[in-house]
Amino acid sequence: MILSQKRKLIMIDTKEEIHPIFYNCPDSLEFRKLRKRIVRKTKDIIYDFKMIEKGAKWLVCLSGGKDSFTLLASLIELKWRGLLPVEILACNLDQGQPNFPKTVLPKFLKKIGVPNRIEYQNTYSIVKDKIQINKTYCSLCSRLRRAHLYRIAREEKCTAVVLGHHQDDILETFFLNLFHGGKLSSMPPKLINDEGDLLVLRPLANISEKDCERFSNHMKFPIIPCDLCGSQDGLERKKIKKMLEQWELDFPGRKKIMYKALSNSRPSHLLDRSLFNFANLDRNRL
């Protein structure tokens, strides 16, 4: 059964009515509005893209960054309020990065009572060995990480792998593919993996990176920085991010317009013959 009707989101802030992850959250009007907006947008994406399946179990990937913490908190909120009838298993993949704080996430997840699996796989050494120091680590790192997450999802009998990519990630990927791949594509909120046995979901697709950062700062999550690909200078994604930020400064609201365009395509006004039958256009046909 897929839930097709959206239920109204009502925020109740007495301690007896909230999940432990929100026990120490601020009581300011600013934070309450931010929290409600993030949770509402997460709910809307989940329902609009019909992400909920009967008997679903979601492997929620927790890197320790602001985006994945925002994802986990939003899903917990929805599940706590009866709006997300799925089983949640938080998962962190320890990739063997030097000085990685191994106890931070287990302690945090135990404290808030969230089922979890912490997996150690030293992909860091593989990436450092295979990729030249002046080359980008991201591609190989993400492939190795994704392969392990798919394996873990299968071992845990999960139906979906849930990732913390947000609106800015989706826009940046679109322009990376446009400028460097010669194609119009990005990261959709919902897709099926190549093997066809797992859904890949991005419930934060409609939430800005800025909101994720504000939310995480308010919540004082134990953020863990990336010391591999996230630490490299000169990455193309960073250049794209800087370009989009400058556009937004020059023309406020441009990113929202571009994001909206991703759901408003017109194949007849592009050049892809696989999407539109240009050969059979008939000027005499009404």
Q: What is the pLDDT of residue 1?
A: 38
- Please compute the mean of the pLDDT values over residues 127-151 and round it to a whole number: 79
Domains of the chain: 21-240 (3.40.50.620)
- Please compute the mean of the pLDDT values over residues 248-254 and round it to a whole number: 96
For the cut 60, the answer to whether the pLDDT of residue 195 exceeds it is yes
CB atoms within 10 A of CB 247: 13
* Tokens representing residue 95 in the block: 């990739």
Higher pLDDT, 95 or 58: 58
Using alpha carbons, list the distances in angstroms from residue 41 to 79, 90, 211. 15, 21, 11
pTM (global) more than 0.85: yes
Interstrand relation of 87-94 and 116-120 (parallel, antiparallel or unpaired): parallel
Q: What is the pLDDT of residue 4?
A: 45
Per-residue pLDDT of 165-191, as tens digits, reads: 999 999 999 999 999 999 999 999 999
* Cβ within 8 Å of residue 257, ≥6 positions away: none
Q: What is the pLDDT of residue 132?
A: 65
- Please compute the mean of the pLDDT values over residues 14-23 and round it to a whole number: 77
